[in-house]
Structures are given as C-alpha cells and as structure tokens.
Amino acid sequence: MEPVRWGIIGCGDVTEVKSGPGFQKADGSRLVAVMRRNADLARDYALRHQVPRWYSDAARLIADPEVDAVYIATPPASHKEYALQAARAGKTAYVEKPMALSSSDCQEMIAACKSAGVPLFVAYYRRALPRFLKVKELLESGAAGEIRYVTIELTQRPPERPLSPDELPWRLRPELSGGGHFMDLACHTLDLLDYLFGPIAAAGGAASNQGGYYPAEDIVSSSFRFQAGIHGTGLWCFTSYAALDRVELTGTKGKIRFASYANDPVILTTDAGSQEFSIEHPEHVQQPLIQQIVNQLHGTGQCASSGESAARTTWVMEQILG
C-alpha cells in the first residue's frame, strides 16, 4: 500500500517533537513537504528533519501533486482558510486544536470537506494516548461505578509582569487564538471528556481578566451537563499562586483522578483503597493519533478525532465564554 504523503503548513515549535516526527515514524506515512512564511526557517526545518521539499507559500504546498494530506499547524485564525483550500484541492486536512475561532467556522470546514469528499481530522490527540485510554478502560469496566459528576481544575502562575502588546504570544491574542490560555488548554480536557462520556448537551460559565497581565481572559468558571446525564464543573485560573492540574470523575463506587497535562499517574480510589497507573506518554505525543488517521485513509481503521467531534468542543467553549 502506498504511504500517505504529508505536508505541514506552519512548521513551528509544536511540530519539532510533538507532531512532525510522527508523520515520518507512523506506519504507512511519509512527510514530504513543509511550509513556513519565513523561507529560511522552512529550509532549516526541512534540512534538520530530512524533509525533501519546503515552501514559504501555503498555496504551493497544497497544490503540490506529491502531497496527499495537509497538517495545518498554524494559529486557529487561519485554520478555516487553509482547510477550505485543502478541500478545494481534494486533499485530507488535519487541523491543530482548537479547530477554529467559532463553531460556525467549524461547520463551514466540515461542509467543505464533506462536499469535496475528503476527511477532516483535528489534533485532539489525547483520544489516542495510552494514559487516557486507561481512563476509558476503567470507566468501561465499571471500576468507579456509574459516573455522576466531573470536576476540572487547571491553575497556573501568572507572568512575572504585565506583557506589552509587542510581547504577547499568539496564544494570548484573541484575534489569532480566539481567547487566552483557556482556549488553548481547556479544549483538550473538554474534548477528552466528550470522548469518554459523549457530547455535552448544555454549558455555561463566566470569564474575567483579574490580573491585568494581558488582554485575554485569565480566569474561567463553568458548569455543564452531558447528554448522558452526568454533570460537570470546571475552573481555569492562570494567575494563581500555584500550578494545579486535576480532573476527577466521581461515580457510585469510587472516583478516577488524572491530569490533563502534568505527568501524573491515573488514580482509581474506591472503598478498597487506591490504585495508581503510571503510563508514560510516547516521545511524539501525536503519533498514535496520526497512526489512526493513516489507518483510516488506508481503509484499515478509524480515527477517534474528527471535524464533527472537534466542532462540539468549540461549541462548548463558546457556551462557557458566553
């Protein structure tokens, strides 16, 4: 079977270890082209990662007849544009998270890819990581009973001082990212919960800027309810005195605790005591999901993260932010 030939639009930091090598190491996959607006940086990436071709123009990469599928690793503001271009070229799009700036943009991307007859995937790679698959296994085995509610806490320390407009990274520029750290980080947890329990049917919340370090929100609180009837609450604060990363799934027989980002074990607690499951992430955390995508494109499997599932997460974040 011929390998899926990938091109990357936006070969920045996230592609150095998390994703880029995964396209080269997944079975039945090759990375054949990369693009970055800075030609020198695109050339440097291609040389360091042994990629045959590089571009400084996304349209040229998408038009490359040797590229079958496009990984869009740019800030969210350009995800829709590049996904639509890929669809028009009849090529698979794999988009970084969050999927787009709005749920309406997500639906436009889904419709364009469906019309073109090409798949659309989103980089919610926790759906394929062994640590979180262990959480799913515990849930499906009934280890904690029937889950009644979910609690999320993610806190971080603030910057050392307020950031000037020139210092703001793209993740803290709402016109590029859709918000602040909440948009960048909460989406992974909310999408994972969608994978574990199914869609969230209702959500609301409040967002504020308490610290004044940058223009975007720095604290978000929420409550939500899954179609399955499970309730949930979440708190994300990025000006706290300490860092905390905790998700708890509480049921009728016990609870399951894990971290969305920290390298902490999964902990199952019941009346019988606690069990810890220490499961390391792979070197290239996107590689398991990339393998799922490649398998689906070869007709030998199914990817757990689609445009449809990712659009639900964008909708939930919209409801929370109001």
Q: What is the CATH number of the domain that holds 251?
A: 3.30.360.10
- Sorted by sequence, the CB contacts under 8 Å of residue 164 that are 6+ apart come out as none
Integer Cα distance of 321 and 313 in angstroms: 12
Integer Cα distance of 265 and 169 in angstroms: 31
Ranges of residues in the chain whose predicted pLDDT is under 50: none
Whether 322 is covered by a domain: the verdict is: no
Q: Tell me which H or E stretch contains 290.
A: helix 287-297
Same domain as 120, residue 8 = yes
188 and 175 Cβ atoms separated by less than 8 Å: no
Answer positive or negative: Cα dihedral of 241, 185, 104, 228: negative
Residue 28's domain comprises 4-124+285-302
Whether 314 is covered by a domain: the verdict is: no
Same domain as 225, residue 148 = yes
Q: What is the pLDDT of residue 1?
A: 84
Residue 40 belongs to domain with CATH number: 3.40.50.720
Q: What is the pLDDT of residue 47?
A: 98
Whether 36 is covered by a domain: the verdict is: yes
Q: Which two tokens stand for residue 128?
A: 């394929």
Whether 40 is covered by a domain: the verdict is: yes
Same domain as 50, residue 104 = yes
Same domain as 228, residue 117 = no
Q: Which two tokens stand for residue 21?
A: 């090598």
Same domain as 267, residue 180 = yes
The rounded percent of the chain whose pLDDT value lies above 90 is 99
Residue 283, helix vs strand vs coil: coil
Whether 275 is covered by a domain: the verdict is: yes
Same domain as 94, residue 181 = no
Same domain as 225, residue 135 = yes
Whether 313 is covered by a domain: the verdict is: no
Same domain as 197, residue 184 = yes
Please name every residue paired with 283 in a beta bridge, in sequence order, or none if there are none: none
Q: What is the pLDDT of residue 319?
A: 98
The residue ranges of DSSP E strands in 120-253, in sequence order, are: 120-122, 147-155, 200-208, 219-226, 231-237, 244-251
Q: What is the total count of domains within the chain?
A: 2
Whether 256 is covered by a domain: the verdict is: yes
Same domain as 119, residue 138 = no
Same domain as 119, residue 74 = yes
Whether 317 is covered by a domain: the verdict is: no
43 and 35 Cβ atoms separated by less than 8 Å: no
220 and 184 Cβ atoms separated by less than 8 Å: no
Burial tier of 284 (Cβ tally within 10 Å: 0-12, 13-18, 19+): buried
Integer Cα distance of 79 and 85 in angstroms: 10
16 and 47 Cβ atoms separated by less than 8 Å: no
Same domain as 260, residue 152 = yes
Same domain as 167, residue 28 = no
